[in-house]
Amino acid sequence: MCLAVPGKIVEVIGTDPFLRSAKVSFAGVVKLISLTCTPEAKLGDFVLVHVGVAISTIDPEEAAETYRYLQAMGELDGLDAAPAGASPP
């Protein structure tokens, strides 16, 4: 089973659609993520990330709901429950 985790784009790097990347915040942990599969993604958007690649954009409510599920499974122990900008439960 594969797991995609929601995060919020806090910085977009580059303009080439094949090389564009972003700094994405996952409950305060920021990682560099490829935006190759999500050319529509922009600063402030929430994206689902799998293995370092944003695979789709999602709305803030869906991001918050996913974080609630991850928290219920104990997958967010030690992190904030909701991504920045998403409404907590």
Look at residue 81 and tell me whether its pLDDT is greater than 90. Answer: no
Domains and CATH numbers, the chain: 5-72 (2.30.30.140)
pLDDT digits 0-9 by tens, 2-60: 778 999 999 999 999 889 999 999 888 999 999 999 999 999 999 999 999 999 999 99
Residue indicated by tokens 């303009």: 15
Cβ neighbours around 23 below 10 Å, total: 16
Q: Which of 89, 86, 19 is nearest to 5 (CA)?
A: 86
At residue 85, the pLDDT reads: 54
Look at residue 82 and tell me whether its pLDDT is greater than 60. Answer: no
At residue 78, the pLDDT reads: 64
